[in-house]
Amino acid sequence: MLAHLLPDAALRLEACHVDATAAQITLLVTSTQTVVCCPLCNRGTQRRHSRYERTLTDLPWAAYRICLRLRVRKFFCDNATCRRHIFTERLPAVVAPWARRTLRLARYLVVIGLALGGEAGARLACQGTSHVSPDTVLRRVRSGHRQAQHSTRVVGVDDWAFHKGHRYGTILVDLERRQPIDLLPDREAATLAAWLKAHPGIQIITRDRAAKYAEGAREGAPHAIQVADRWHLLKNLREAVQRFLTRQHARLEQATVSVTQGQLLEYTTTAGPVAMLSSRSAHERQHNRAKRYARYCQVLELYRQGVSQKQIAHTLGMHTMTVRTFIRAGTFPERATSRRRSQLDPYVAFLHQRWVAGCKNPTQLWHELGAQGYRGTSRMVRRYVARLGQRLKMLTPEQRTQILQAETTFKTPSVRRATFWLLKPTQDLTPDQASFITQLCAISAEI
């Protein structure tokens, strides 16, 4: 009965020893092959030279580890022209030459390693087999795992980082099996072309819009169809839209004013709700932009005179990365209107209503907001109330009433948020967001 649990029918069980203390079963097995072939010339022989024992580890039986004491024989090769005169019989269905584990145990370790990796795989393997280290599991994955040859038809090409920001390579993925198949050491066209020529069955190549990958695909697989994948197309579109909006950030504020016009009547001054929640006035933002633009002009002037980037940074007291950005920009790089959402945003309408009702005490307003669910500090409420009072001084009584009684708290979105609104389906946007995008497109069409 135990013979049916052996790795192969070519083995015969001679003896069995059970060690309950060590939880191990030792099996003495021999080969039943009558004619064996030389591994070099493949000529069969029956002339025996000697025999010896190999100790192998096999798959466990229940809670017992299995140790195989395999008696193998050596034979004479009768081929006079063969370089090997004496050889050991091979058992290709049981164990590889010089191995200490059976093939089925080696396959088991490969499966564990692929599923769990080295550390977790070693812990699981030690539960039922002989103790193995994480390095052993990883070595089995690298050297023992040999997948059946599969002709790749659709391959995805993209870059990946050996060391982010310093060294990049190329990853190739079989998109039909959804498995990585190779890693290339760089992102050069010649390297990709050489790999494609070595794998002539490829019919479709999906890639990003890099010129080197396009060139490598044309050289290595001229008959393959090249596809710019959807993810990279959307990524490139988003980046292009974001760069455009960064240069035209004033249009975002114009679109915001257009959105709030219906609720705020004809109030379109810079003291409207766009600046109401901002700690900086429009005049202050324009002043900062003028200073930055003057720096930009100084950098370009020095660069045209032949001064190095490092020297420009030292002369003007700037960071070298800022100098490099100014030189490579082509046009003056506007700063993105990045606004972090405040904890006070959902309660601005309530604050305005209480202000109209005559309550202007920051501490009292903070307690009332706390009852509404506000979890911010009283200092934030105090600063906003002070800023609100300063802004309202510049308005007429009618304009103050319009601003304070307005239900909208729509703020100018950041460049990144506006970009995502542009790329989202219209039905997924709120009415204010959809109105903002419509106004932004109308304003941009006039540029």
CB-based contact 179:155 (threshold 8 Å) = no
pLDDT tens string 85-138: 999 999 888 988 888 889 888 888 888 888 888 898 888 888 766 678 888 888
Pairs from 49-52 (Cβ < 8 Å, separation ≥ 24) = 49/73, 49/74, 49/75, 49/76, 49/86, 50/74
Integer-rounded Cα Rg, in Å, for the chain is 37
- Same domain? For 94 and 109 the reply is no
For residue 426, being part of any structural domain is answered with no
Q: Which domain holds residue 180?
A: 155-228
Number of domains in the chain: 4
Residue 266 has pLDDT above 50, yes or no: no
Q: DSSP letter string over 379-418?
A: HHHHHHHHHHHHHHTTS-HHHHHHHHH------PPPHHHH
Residues 116 and 58 in one domain: no
* pLDDT tens, position by position, 186-198: 989 999 999 998 8
24 and 9 share one domain: yes
Does 113 lie in the same domain as 24?
no
Residues in the chain, overall count? 447
Nearest to 74 by CA among 83, 61, 84: 84
| Distance separating alpha carbons of residues 260 and 272, to the nearest angstrom | 9
pLDDT beyond 50 at 164: yes
What type of residue sits at position 425? P
Residue 388 belongs to some domain of the structure: no
Q: What mean pLDDT value characterizes the chain? A: 81
d(CA 6, CA 321): 68
The Cα–Cα gap between 299 and 59 comes to: 72
Number of alpha carbons in the 13 Å side-chain half-sphere of residue 88? 14
Q: How confident is the model at residue 54 (pLDDT cuts 50, 70, 90)?
A: very high
Instruction: Note whether 45 and 82 are same-domain residues.
Output: yes
Q: What is the pLDDT, as a whole number, of residue 403?
A: 58
Does 165 or 285 have the greater pLDDT score? 165
pTM: 0.40
Give dist(CA 105, CA 316) in Å, integer.
68
Name the token pair of 281: 């006035």
The 10s digit of each residue's pLDDT in 19-47 is 888 888 899 999 988 889 998 888 899 99
- Residue 128 has what pLDDT? 63
Residue 55 resides in a domain: yes
The SS3 call for residue 439 is helix
- Over residues 341-400, the pLDDT tens digits come to 677 777 877 887 777 777 888 888 888 888 888 888 888 888 888 877 777 776 666 666
Task: Please report whether residue 41 resides in a domain.
Answer: yes
